Amino acid sequence: MNPRLVDLYREQGRLLERIASQRQGVAEQWRPVQRAVRGVDAVSQWLHEAATYLRSHPLVVATAVTALVIFKPRRAWLWGSRGFLVWRRWRRLQRWVSLYGLRL
């Protein structure tokens, strides 16, 4: 075999190994960025779902705005948190009832 061709194949092998190690290094360096991007994607998805929910339930938005106008913001926040607590407990009760096959 031609010695020049052998040298070219060896150089190609070295370059391929170097490329593989560089790819691995870049992948390791990008892991924190990937985690951050996943976090941003999750927040973006949550905001999109919240906006979709609010668009499909305008009564919720109107009630919240009305509560802020009628009551002081601190008082509205207090009643809103109480309402949220009641809603969460209602949802938990519904799940519990459906899990055990009971009727309300």
The mean pLDDT value for 73-77 works out to 81
> Torsions phi, psi of 16, nearest 5?
-65, -40
DSSP 71: S
Look at residue 92 in the predicted model and tell me its pLDDT.
92
Q: Provide the whole-model pTM.
A: 0.46
Mean pLDDT of 14-38: 93
- Of 65 and 23, the structure prediction assigns the larger pLDDT to 23
Query: Is the predicted pLDDT of residue 103 greater than 70, yes or no?
Result: no
Name the residue ranges covered by the structural domains of the chain. 1-56
- Pick the range with the lowest mean pLDDT from 8-17, 21-30, 89-98: 89-98
Q: Are 104 and 95 within 8 A, CB to CB?
A: no
